[in-house]
Amino acid sequence: MRKPRALDEFSLTSEPTSAEDFDVERLIRKRETALGYRIMASWGWGADGSGHITARDPEHTDCFWLLAYGVPFGQATVEDLVLVNELGDVIQGQGDINPAAFCIHAPIHANRPDVIGAIHAHTPYGTPFSALAEPLTMTSQEAAAFHQLQGVFHGEEVNVTDIATGQRIAEALGPGRLVVLANHGLLTVGTSVASAVGFYLNAEHAAEVCIKAPNGRKISDEAAAEAHKSVGQELNGWHVFQWLVRSRLNDPCAVG
Ligand SMILES: [Zn+2]
């Protein structure tokens, strides 16, 4: 069993590991998912059960993993994850799922084969910002990660209970990295679970700047595009995740 990386293995040149062996790759994705839930819990996010992280299965690519409903996010382990198929049926693991998680995430995973991980939460700045029903303004370094990679879902379905609504959310996301769900919250995706979570933190920080400095200076399109060349790399989202694991979690190995 591969353990999460030791601290001394990280550097600016560290890169994600991926494996051709399905079992090894599955474990990597499940660990990142459980770690992601614990990172959410480290701020109290999801203490009311809202929010979810999903990870596409490497072998059964139309299925994805998420935390069984009712497990406190701060106690998430790989054993607590369940695998759901394209119909929303739990086909591995024990427990139920949050129906909203399936309705929101399934169309995104179906529409975007490049997306491995997706995360949605109701967060202190993401949700107030979403009530503006606008994309992030380019007023911070973190916002530049979403330059020309964000959409807004303008539907009034603040509780998503059907796949058709999830499909419209997936269309609002389009080829992007972030979709602002109006009056609801933020959702980010990545080519790994780690980068999806890392970019969620970027989006939350960018939303905080938008809320606290609503009349803040916007950087130019050219400057945002230039910053995006670095902060917009998938690898940058992955690095943010590694920092979160090291900075926010006392015992990353506890996820199993
Ligand atoms: Zn929600």
Q: Kindly list the domain boundaries of the chain, sorted by start residue.
A: 19-255
Ligand 1 centroid distance, CA of 45 (Å): 11
* Through-space distance between the first and last CA atoms of the chain, rounded to whole angstroms: 9
Tell me the pLDDT tens digit for each residue of 148-182: 999 999 999 999 999 999 999 999 999 999 999 99
Instruction: Give pTM, 2 decimals.
Output: 0.95
Please name the residue ranges forming H helices in 112-192. 126-130, 163-173
Tell me the pLDDT tens digit for each residue of 33-74: 999 999 999 999 999 999 999 999 999 999 999 999 999 999
Strand 81-84 and strand 117-121: pairing?
Answer: unpaired
Ligand 1 centroid distance, CA of 165 (Å): 13
8 Å CB contact between 179 and 187: yes
Q: Note the CATH architecture for domain 19-255.
A: 3-Layer(aba) Sandwich (3.40)
Ligand 1 centroid distance, CA of 214 (Å): 24
In the structure, what pLDDT confidence band is assigned to residue 1 with cuts at 50, 70 and 90? very low
Ligand 1 centroid distance, CA of 7 (Å): 33
Ligand 1 centroid distance, CA of 186 (Å): 8
Ligand 1 centroid distance, CA of 104 (Å): 9
Ligand 1 centroid distance, CA of 175 (Å): 21
